[in-house]
Amino acid sequence: MIRYISKRILIMIPVLLGISFLIFSIMSLTPGDPALNILGKDATPESLQLLREEMGLNENFLTRYAKYMINAFRGNFGISYTTKTPVFDEVFTRYPTTLKLSFFSVLFAVTLGIPIGIVSAIKRYSLADSFSMTGALLLTSIPSFWLGLMLMLQLSLKHGWLPSTGFDSWKHYIMPCITLGAADLAILLRITRSNMLEVIRQDYIRTAKAKGAGEVRLIFKHAFRNAMLPIVTTIGLTFGSMLSGAIVVESVFGIPGVGTMIINAIRAKDTPLVMASVLFFTVIIGLINLLVDILYAFIDPRVASRYRG
C-alpha cells in the first residue's frame, strides 16, 4: 500500500513539471511586459531596464524557468507583481475560502444526490423517478452563473432572505454552495441511479432477498456497498470540477477566494501569482484523486488485495 502511494506521488512530479512548463511558456512567450505593467506607461526606459534586470526578465526563457522551479521547490514562489507580497502568502490566505466553498458544495451535492439517486433506482419509472431525472437533466443544462443570478434575484433581492455578496456568516454560504454544487448533484444522482440499477440485477441480491434480508439491509448492505466504487470516483472528479467552477461562482457572489484572485492576476499579467495558483489547484486535484484511489481499498477488498500483491 505504501509502495503504491509513493509510486502515485512520484508520478505526480512529471505532471506538475509539465503543467508548470506549459503555464510558464504561455505566460512568458506572449506579448506584454510585466515591468511596464508594474511601473506604468510613464516609466523611463532606464527604470524599465533596471526593473527588468532585477526581475531577471532579460535572461533566456529556459534559465528563467529553471530558476523559478528551483525556488518553488524551496517554497519560494516569487513576489506578486501587483501586490508586492510573497505569492505563497497571497495564495494561502485565499485558499481556505475556495476550499471551504468547494467542500460545502460537494457536501450539498453528496447529501442530496446519493439518496435521491438510490430512491430513483428502487422506485424506477415511478413519478418520483421521472421527477428527479428531469430535475437532473435540467440542472446539468443550467450554467452555474445564471443559476447564481436567479437565486440571488429571488432569495436576496426580492425577498431579502439571504445576503447577496460576501462570505462571512453561514447565510453567505447557502447560495454559492447550491450554485456550485447543483450540476454535480445532478451527475451524482445519475451515476448513483444507474449503478444501483446495475447492482440490483445481480444474482447475489436475489440470493440475499431469497434468504430473507430486509429491504433496508438489502439496499445498504448488499446493493449500495457494491455500487459505491464509481460513485466515489465521481465524487473525486467532482472536486476537480468544483475548483474550476469556483472561479465563476466566486465572481458572481463577490467571494474573495482564489478564483477571483486568478482572474485579477491574469488581467494584470501577474505571472508568479497565476503560476502558483494553477499549480496549487493541480496539486490539490492530484491529491484528491490519490485519496479516492486509496479509499477504494477500504470500500472494495478486491482492490486492497491488488495493492498488497
Partner 1 sequence: MTANVEVINKNKVKKSGQLRSICNRYKRNKLAMTGLLLMLLLIIASLSAHFIVDYDNAIHQNMEERFQGPRSKHIFGTDHYGRDIFARIIHGAKISIFMGLFNVFTALAIGSIIGSVAAYFGGYVDSILMRLMDVFLAVPQTLLAISIVAVLGQGVFNLMIALCIAAIPKFARVVRSAMLTVREQEYIEAAKACGTGDIRIIFRHVMPNAIGPIIVQATLDMATSILSIASLSFLGLGIAPPTPEWGAMLSEGKVYMRDYPYLVVFPGLAIVITVLSLNLIGDGLRDALDPRLRN
What is the rounded CA–CA span in Å between residue 139 and residue 275? 32
Which position has the grid cell 478564483?
A: 259
Tell the smallest beta-carbon distance from residue 224 to partner 1 (Å).
16
> CB–CB of 307/4 below 8 Å?
yes
Tell the smallest beta-carbon distance from residue 305 to partner 1 (Å).
26
Tell the smallest beta-carbon distance from residue 251 to partner 1 (Å).
6
What is the rounded CA–CA span in Å between residue 32 and residue 21? 19
Tell the smallest beta-carbon distance from residue 68 to partner 1 (Å).
16
Nearest to 199 by CA among 237, 235, 229: 229
> CB–CB of 101/255 below 8 Å?
yes
Which C-beta is closer to partner 1: that of 49 or that of 241? 241
For binding to partner 1 (CB under 8 A), which residues are involved? 14-15, 18-19, 22-23, 26-27, 30, 32, 137-138, 140-146, 149-150, 152-153, 157, 193-194, 197-198, 240-241, 243-245, 247-248, 251, 262-263, 266-267, 269, 274, 278, 281-282, 285-286
Which C-beta is closer to partner 1: that of 112 or that of 252? 252
Which C-beta is closer to partner 1: that of 49 or that of 156? 156
Neighbour-count burial for 178-209, b at 16+ CB within 10 Å, e otherwise: bbbbbbbbbbbbbbbbebbbebbeeeebeebe
Tell the smallest beta-carbon distance from residue 205 to partner 1 (Å).
15
> CB–CB of 149/179 below 8 Å?
no
Which C-beta is closer to partner 1: that of 60 or that of 141? 141
Which position has the grid cell 523559478?
A: 68
In the chain, alpha helices (H): 2-28, 34-39, 45-55, 61-73, 87-122, 127-141, 144-151, 170-200, 203-210, 215-217, 225-253, 258-267, 271-299, 301-308
What is the rounded CA–CA span in Å between residue 164 and residue 149? 9
Which C-beta is closer to partner 1: that of 83 or that of 140? 140
Tell the smallest beta-carbon distance from residue 257 to partner 1 (Å).
13
Tell the smallest beta-carbon distance from residue 308 to partner 1 (Å).
27
Which C-beta is closer to partner 1: that of 55 or that of 144? 144
